[in-house]
């Protein structure tokens, strides 16, 4: 597992007369992971995040990996791959909720960080009753 103290995103912002201001945004891994955790928790049907099961080494995407036990993110330039594990509310439509998680993580990473989400792998660890 590759680790670092930051993820980097190269960006450019158009200004007057089609000129661009270029630069690099450095994001603390805990901020990236916190954004994903908050986004996933806000999806209707998700009761909680839980500890992820291990991923095989040969399945590892290229890039810098960051992991807090519940969310694992691999950053490769301005693209990310994420793994999350969730417990869903009893009776939840798994396909609908997992598709919503993928969509919302992609939107959040794009809007807030200017990053592209290549994949979001979701491990459904179980169902439980709980407050929505």
Delineate the domains of the chain, giving CATH numbers in brackets: 7-128 (3.30.70.1350)
Tokens of 62: 């290229």
Q: What is each CA distance from 28 to 12, 35, 37, 49, 96, in whole angstroms?
A: 20, 11, 14, 21, 31
pLDDT value at residue 112: 87
Across all residues in the chain, what is the average pLDDT? 84
8 Å CB contact between 69 and 55: no
Higher pLDDT among residues 28 and 23, named by residue? 28
Instruction: Write down the residue that tokens 């930051």 correspond to.
Output: 6
Q: What is the pTM of this model?
A: 0.78
Higher pLDDT among residues 15 and 28, named by residue? 28
- For range 41-70, the mean pLDDT: 82
**In the predicted structure, residue 6 carries a pLDDT above the cut 90:** no
User: Which residues make Cβ contacts (< 8 Å) with residue 55, sequence separation at least 6?
Assistant: 72, 83
In this predicted model, what pLDDT tens digit does every residue of 61-111 receive, in sequence order? 688 899 999 999 999 988 999 999 999 999 999 999 999 999 999 999 988
Question: Which helix or strand (DSSP H or E) is residue 120 part of?
Answer: strand 116-128
């Amino acid at each position: 597992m590759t680790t670092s103290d930051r993820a980097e995103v190269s960006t450019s912002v158009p200004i007057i007369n089609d000129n661009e201001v270029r630069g690099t945004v450095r994001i603390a891994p805990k901020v990236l992971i916190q954004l994903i955790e908050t986004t996933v928790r806000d999806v209707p049907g998700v009761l909680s995040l839980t500890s992820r099961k291990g991923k095989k080494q040969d399945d590892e995407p290229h890039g810098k990996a960051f992991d807090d036990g519940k969310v694992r993110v691999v950053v490769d330039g301005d693209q990310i791959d994420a793994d999350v594990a969730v417990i869903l509310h009893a009776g939840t439509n798994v396909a609908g909720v997992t598709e919503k998680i993928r969509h919302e993580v992609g939107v959040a990473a794009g809007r807030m960080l200017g990053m592209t989400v290549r994949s979001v792998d979701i491990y459904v660890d179980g169902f439980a009753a709980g407050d929505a």
